[in-house]
Amino acid sequence: MRPPVGRAVVHPAFRRFWWATSISEAGTYFTTLAVQVLIVVQLGGSAADVGLVNGARWLPYLLFGVVAGVLVDRMRRRPVLITADFVRAGLLLAVPLLAWTGSLPILVLAGLMALLGLASLAGDAAAQALVPRLVPVDDLTRAHASLDRAAAVAQAGGPALAGMLIGLIGAARTVLVDAASYLVSGVLLLFTRVAEPVPERAARQGMWTEIREGLRWVYRHRTLGPFAIATHGWFLFSALAGVVLVPFAVDTVGLSPLLLGIALALAGVGAFVGSSAAAWLGERLGTGRLVIAAQAGTGIAWGVVALTPVSGWAGVVAGAGQFLLGVAMGASNANEMAYRQSVTPDRLQGRMNATMRSVNRAMIVIAAPLGGLLADAIGYRPGLFLAAGGMLLTALLLLLSPFRAARVGE
């Protein structure tokens, strides 16, 4: 018998993990904004420099993603995550120190962000693979929903708080908030007890053999395979929409920065609402049907944004689209994570999570520049409609696949 849908996840180890993850998640929003302000205001950089530094942050996911998955599967996951947290804290601490001494050119900052991305790759792979060791299968959806709610709160309030702090103490010092958040996260995890067996060395088959095993598991699985491919497509179109949104809102529609910020914050509010109902919806609709409906919902949401008029109602329409986007993503993510972790053996968790995450990030890197060029060619509003149509197409492909009958733990 499944436990009641609304029951809270009460496992002590997960509670500590939740606090550690939530604190570090909130800190990330401070660095995301502060680094971009630092590049433009203090270092005199251009939009291309912002793109260079942002790209460096994700480059390790493309180069080393599947390798990280193998390494995580060969180790106990909690020590990997603790090490990654402390390394990230040290790298972020270097940003204000170098800025204070005048030794922080753009390329050095990009190098620091690449190293931060490498540590985050290891930490993310370990964190995702650790959750199934903290809670039983029947609690996976609720566990991920609670993590999503914390992330939604950070998304709704983090950028505004970061902006206020940047105005008070400067962009470089604001990065210290994120450094402190990783330090606190690492300390909390040090005192988290998790039963983790040490993987047997005799089970190792060689790096490339284990990489192929992980890839085969993801892409040849009857339901996980179609889901993975559709998710990669969704990330492609989502990246296109993300590139077009700001120039569309500012140049085409004429939204002020304040109204745009409010609209984006509503996505965080919607994500909180969606994640709060995620477990309940997953139980009643089934994981496959809910995820398909949510992917279609994201397409509809971007369609609403594309319909934003050049009038006094612009902020309302854009905000409604962003709110709907947040609801759909919040309801879906916990069910997606719980499903893919529930069907994957423990020994393959690191490879499965790292493979999917790395290819998803590859879609962002590919779509971001190409999407910008395409939108410049066909227009911002048609670009958003194209992204919306692509998301509806991924939902249709999933509907026609065996994934439509998928359920967590089955």
pLDDT of amino acid 89: 95
Rounded CA gap, 206 and 177, in Å?
Answer: 40
For residue 246, pLDDT over 90 is answered with: no
79-100 pLDDT tens trace: 889 999 999 999 999 999 998 8
CA dihedral 201, 203, 209, 211 (to 10 degrees): -80
For the segment(s) 217-410, the CATH number from 1.20.1250.20, 3.40.50.300, 3.90.79.10, 1.10.20.10 is 1.20.1250.20
pLDDT of amino acid 6: 42
If one compares 389 and 243, the residue with the highest pLDDT of the two is 389
Rounded CA gap, 139 and 160, in Å?
Answer: 33
Rounded CA gap, 120 and 31, in Å?
Answer: 13
pLDDT-derived band at 293 (thresholds 50, 70, 90) equals: very high
For residue 4, pLDDT over 60 is answered with: no
Angle 7-405-151 from CA coordinates, rounded to 5°: 45
pLDDT of amino acid 86: 96
Task: Pick from 44-58, 97-111, 201-215, 256-270 the range whose average pLDDT is largest.
Answer: 97-111
Superfamily the domain 11-194 falls into: MFS general substrate transporter like domains (1.20.1250.20)
Q: Cβ neighbours of residue 343 under 8 Å, at least 6 residues apart?
A: 221, 223, 224
Sign for the pseudo-dihedral over CA of 111, 112, 118, 124: negative
Q: Domain map of the chain by residue range?
A: 11-194, 217-410
pLDDT-derived band at 257 (thresholds 50, 70, 90) equals: low
Rounded CA gap, 157 and 150, in Å?
Answer: 11
What is the overall mean pLDDT for the chain? 83
Task: Pick from 219-223, 256-260, 397-401, 402-406 the range whose average pLDDT is largest.
Answer: 397-401
How far does the chain reach from its first CA to its final CA, in angstroms? 13
pLDDT-wise least confident of 82-91, 103-112, 346-355, 367-376: 367-376
* CATH fold match for the domains 11-194 and 217-410: yes
Q: What percent of the chain has pLDDT over 70?
A: 93
Angle 190-191-192 from CA coordinates, rounded to 5°: 95
pLDDT-wise least confident of 37-51, 106-120, 382-396: 37-51
297-312 pLDDT tens trace: 999 999 999 999 887 7
3-state secondary structure of 169: helix
pLDDT-derived band at 204 (thresholds 50, 70, 90) equals: low
pLDDT-derived band at 1 (thresholds 50, 70, 90) equals: very low
Burial class (CB in 10 A: 0-12, 13-18, 19+), 381: middle
Q: Are the beta carbons of 276 and 152 closer than 8 angstroms?
A: no
pLDDT-wise least confident of 33-47, 72-86, 198-212, 235-249: 198-212
324-357 pLDDT tens trace: 999 999 898 888 888 888 888 877 877 888 788 8
For the chain, helix (H) and strand (E) counts, in that order, are 14, 0
Largest CA distance in the chain: 67
pLDDT of amino acid 250: 73
pLDDT of amino acid 200: 62
What is the CA 86 to chain-centroid distance, rounded? 20
Q: Which two tokens stand for residue 201?
A: 């060395």
Task: Pick from 84-98, 104-118, 313-327 the range whose average pLDDT is largest.
Answer: 84-98
Q: Cβ neighbours of residue 302 under 8 Å, at least 6 residues apart?
A: 241, 321, 325, 384, 387, 388, 391
192-201 pLDDT tens trace: 887 777 666 5
Output DSSP code: residue 348: G
133-178 pLDDT tens trace: 888 887 788 887 888 888 888 877 777 777 778 888 888 888 999 9
Task: Taking residues 58-79, report their average pLDDT.
Answer: 80
